[in-house]
Structure 1
């Protein structure tokens, strides 16, 4: 990612953070519609999970500025997700749901450039999480 993409992701996330509860609800609604098979991986009450999602996204978005420093924690997150039953195949649905949520949450501010920056960021985050999942399986 170049600095302009990092800035776009961080600036757009700052606009979503104030509506974190709504954004996380939109995300999980979209995810469970898109990939109903992942629903059993979560508890019935998603309150805590929604908080953790936004916290993790905030950490990863902030970490883009010094990615090498953030990588170990992102890999550990992937390893934990593996123990919950998450699989690498789930990342496509998660990424699509994230983009759909951002589009709804940002409205006109979700420009093609912002979409591309988030797509790139999610790809980087997902790759490190999957590396953590693989190390957990090994």
Structure 2
């Protein structure tokens, strides 16, 4: 990723994070509307799941680097998701729910450049996580 993309993501996430409870609930509400089957994959409350989502996003957003390296905890998270049965299609739905939630939360501040940066980061992250969950080498990096 470029330094400009990283700045856009970190700046926009700084606006979202204070609204983390609302954002997390919006994300999961949208995700379950798009694919109700996904709801059955969760054993914790949605409130708790929302907290974990925001912690994971904060870890990843803080850890964005121009060299593309992911924090080790992100790869650990990917392995767990694989054990839970998360598939490539689930990652696609999660990406759609994430972009929608960001757009709804940020409004006009979620401009085309910011959206493109988030989409780029999420596409690269989800590919890395899918590969890590499948036991492949996490060779995909968040670089351009």
TM-score by length of 1: 0.92
Alignment of 1:106-125 (within 5 A): 106-125=106-125
How far the C-alpha of 1:84 sits from its partner, in A, is: 1.5
Q: Point out the structure with the larger helix share.
A: 1
Kept in 1: contact 2:64–2:70 (CA 8 A):
no
Structure 1 residues 69 and 23, CA gap change in structure 2 (3 angstroms): closer
Determine whether 1:6 maps to 2:6. Answer: yes
In structure 1, distance between residues paired with 2:53 and 2:135: 22
In structure 1, distance between residues paired with 2:116 and 2:123: 11
In structure 1, distance between residues paired with 2:16 and 2:82: 27
Structure 1 residues 134 and 104, CA gap change in structure 2 (3 angstroms): same
Q: Secondary structure at the match of 2:88?
A: coil
- 1:68 is matched with 69
Q: Secondary structure at the match of 1:86?
A: coil
How far the C-alpha of 1:109 sits from its partner, in A, is: 0.2
- 1:23 is matched with 23
How far the C-alpha of 1:44 sits from its partner, in A, is: 6.1
Structure 1 residues 69 and 107, CA gap change in structure 2 (3 angstroms): closer
Q: Secondary structure at the match of 1:120?
A: helix
- 1:92 is matched with 92
In structure 1, distance between residues paired with 2:46 and 2:128: 25
How far the C-alpha of 1:73 sits from its partner, in A, is: 2.4
- 1:34 is matched with 34
What is the root-mean-square deviation of aligned Cα atoms in Å?
1.4
Unaligned ranges ≥5, structure 2:
137-144
In structure 2, distance between residues paired with 1:16 and 1:44: 23
Higher normalized contact order (CA 8 Å, seq sep 6+, divided by chain length)? 1
In structure 1, distance between residues paired with 2:70 and 2:12: 22
Structure 1 residues 102 and 44, CA gap change in structure 2 (3 angstroms): same
In structure 1, distance between residues paired with 2:70 and 2:6: 15
